[in-house]
Amino acid sequence: MSSFLIPISLSMSFSPLEGDKFEQEYQKLSLDSDEQLLFRNLRAKRDMSSAEAIIINLLVSLHKKVDELETQRAKSSYLELEYKDEPLESIGFEHILLKQNILEPSKHYYARVELPLYPKKLIAFYFEAIDETKAKITKISSSSEDEWNSFISIKEREIIRINKEVRE
């Protein structure tokens, strides 16, 4: 994987590691539910009738409303993290760069990031600080890594499209 970083408007909450205090929450957030897989498969289906498309759109709208309610409820059930909504300057497939100098080099941290995708995905991962702002992701579940990588790819395509439009 590359250490190429893309500029981003995203924030991250995190705390220094304290034994296995965060492991249970990490496992909970790492599970990719059957409903999300089904939803993704339905959206990917290309040969659906107009009636099926209408039903899918209604389900999407309903799912968004339920997600908003669940997000509000779930935020109170997560562990308190020392640093809340710290702005990120840029991200990559394996690295993150914070805007502020708050990390301790070589120290390990637990983090949560809400990816602004649909459905919104709160992912958890562990990272090690390289310096005061740069860190390397050291542990992330496969489903969370897929979401993270997809998000980065989407942002890379947006940057390419914008740069192409500027040149024309």
Structural domains of the chain in order of their starting residue, each with its CATH number: 6-31+81-167 (2.40.10)
Summarize pLDDT for 96-153 with one digit per residue, the tens: 999 999 999 999 999 999 988 767 788 999 999 999 999 999 999 988 898 899 899 9
Cα 96–Cα 102–Cα 106 angle in degrees, nearest 5? 70
Cβ–Cβ contacts within 10 Å for residue 15, how many? 17
- In this structure, the dihedral spanned by the alpha carbons of residues 101, 10, 33 and 127, taken in order and rounded to 10 degrees, is -20
| pTM of the predicted model over 0.85 | no
Q: Is the pLDDT confidence value at 1 over 60?
A: no
Cα 6–Cα 113–Cα 134 angle in degrees, nearest 5? 50
Once rounded to an integer, what is the mean pLDDT over residues 73-81? 77
Query: Judging by beta carbons within 10 Å of its beta carbon (0-12, 13-18, 19+), is residue 80 exposed, middle or buried?
Result: exposed
What share of the chain in percent tops pLDDT 90? 46
SS3 (DSSP) at 157 = helix
